Amino acid sequence: DRLMRLALALAALALIAAAPPTKRLAVELPDAEGLLPERYGVSSEAVNNNCLACHSAAMITAQPRLSRVQWGETIAKMRTVYAAPIDTADDKAILDWLVAD
């Protein structure tokens, strides 16, 4: 019985040692595909400076239309949940661009 347990333990260790190392979770940042354009006369500078660090322009422009309050909550979530370094001084300009129509 002890010999069988030892054999099983050694077999398990051999399998673990032979297994490929686990991969780390990697975050892939978007490819540089260009900047977001001005939108209905509203500058895109704040969005380009703050949002393109983590999001692609295509991803940003594909988002559903949200209200100013909803976008404000989203920006707050990016800061608190994802630790995004969004400059609070840019909030108004980002919101203006996101809700421009």
Q: 12 lies in a domain?
A: no
Q: 86 lies in a domain?
A: yes
Residue 70 CB neighbours (<10 A): 13
At residue 7 the predicted structure's pLDDT band, cuts being 50, 70 and 90, is: confident
Distance CA 23, CA 38 (A): 40
Confidence (pTM): 0.66
The pLDDT assigned to 33 comes to 59
The pLDDT assigned to 29 comes to 52
Contact by Cβ (8 Å): 18, 10: no
CATH of the domain at 39: 1.10.760.10
At residue 10 the predicted structure's pLDDT band, cuts being 50, 70 and 90, is: confident
Segments forming the whole domain that contains residue 84: 25-99
What total number of domains does the chain contain?
Answer: 1
Tokens of 64: 């559903």
